[in-house]
């Protein structure tokens, strides 16, 4: 039982490049989330999904897109990376909002 | 909308001293409350959570928190800290029967020998 896994662990991008972060969970959770963590700002919700095929915007959705084609996977895309998107990205999953499980994080540096 | 305020960005304390990390929340409806810990360069680990029932919640590593509905607080306490408790601590709130977890900005606990 791996829990929540994230791929990749680290990535360096140049401004304007694109990339996709993959989150996978094996707990059959309905809800999945993408957060970003920046110093002094805690974790801020980017996008989330309450089920396969559904997505919704969080607090800071601009510059990101997401897709949930399979229940166990939640993808976060950056179409044109900007230095302001340098951050640590965490994925999480939840059964019904009463217990959240986090992945180990992806460190992204945009030059 | 819900929000979480962690009143102290940094808390320095000596080893074996007691510590309290403060958290207040704002919500017009019932909530679930959580404390997470993040050790340097690691992910988030759940310390404890309040869903319902007893307002005093015990968690891992000797931490406990008390839910106070009238003061809308959920302060985290430990009677005697260790060097290994040095980490960042996040308070978070989830509204009952909804789907989002909202975090505070975090409190960095630094334990000195």
Helical (H) or strand (E) element with A106: strand A106-110
pLDDT beyond 70 at B96: no
How much is the average pLDDT of A2-9?
92
- Band (pLDDT 50/70/90 cuts) for residue B27 is confident
Q: What is the pLDDT of residues A22-57, one digit of tens each?
A: 999 999 999 999 999 998 888 999 999 989 999 999
How much is the average pLDDT of A55-67?
95
Q: What is the pLDDT of residues B36-90, one digit of tens each?
A: 999 988 889 999 999 888 889 999 999 999 999 899 999 999 999 999 999 999 9
User: Could you tell me which chain A residue has the CA closest to the CA of B96?
Assistant: A97
Q: Taking Cα atoms as reference points, which of A34, A41, A56 lies closest to residue B98?
A: A56
Higher pLDDT, B47 or B98: B47
The predicted pLDDT at position A97 comes to 63
User: Could you tell me which chain B residue has the CA closest to the CA of A43?
Assistant: B103
pLDDT beyond 70 at A80: yes
How much is the average pLDDT of A94-104?
82
Test B95 with A92 for CB contact under 8 angstroms.
no
Whole-angstrom distance, CA of residue A46 vs CA of residue B103: 13
Q: Which residues of A touch B42 (CB under 8 A)?
A: 104-105
Q: What is the mean pLDDT of chain B?
A: 92
- The CB density around residue B112, as the number of other CB atoms within 10 Å, is 11
pLDDT beyond 80 at A89: yes
How much is the average pLDDT of A16-26?
96
Q: Which residues of A touch B92 (CB under 8 A)?
A: 100
| Percent of residues, chain A, with pLDDT higher than 70 | 97
User: Could you tell me which chain B residue has the CA closest to the CA of A89?
Assistant: B43
The predicted pLDDT at position B43 comes to 87
B8 CA: distance to closest CA in chain A (Å) = 11
pLDDT beyond 70 at A106: yes
- Check if the beta carbon of residue B77 is closer than 8 Å to that of residue B20: yes
């Amino acid at each position: 039982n791996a829990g929540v896994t994230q791929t990749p662990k680290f990535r360096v991008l140049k401004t304007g490049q694109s990339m996709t972060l993959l989150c996978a969970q094996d707990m059959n959770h309905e809800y999945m989330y993408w957060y970003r963590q920046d110093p002094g700002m805690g974790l801020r919700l980017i996008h989330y999904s309450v089920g396969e095929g559904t997505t919704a915007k969080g607090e800071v959705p601009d510059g990101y897109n997401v897709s949930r084609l399979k229940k166990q996977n939640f993808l976060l895309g950056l179409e044109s990376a900007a230095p302001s998107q340098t951050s640590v990205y965490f994925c999480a999953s939840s059964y019904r909002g009463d217990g959240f499980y986090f992945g180990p994080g992806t460190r992204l540096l945009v030059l | 909308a819900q929000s979480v305020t962690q009143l102290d960005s940094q808390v320095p304390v000596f080893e074996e001293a007691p510590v309290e990390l403060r958290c207040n929340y704002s919500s017009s409806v019932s909530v679930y409350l959580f404390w997470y810990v993040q050790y340097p360069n690691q992910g988030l680990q759940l310390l404890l959570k309040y869903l319902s029932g007893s307002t005093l919640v015990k968690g891992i590593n000797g931490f406990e928190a008390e839910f106070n509905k009238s003061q809308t607080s959920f302060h985290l306490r430990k009677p005697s800290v260790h060097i290994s408790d040095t980490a960042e601590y996040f308070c978070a709130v989830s509204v009952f029967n909804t789907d989002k977890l909202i975090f505070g900005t975090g409190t960095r606990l630094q334990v000195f020998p």
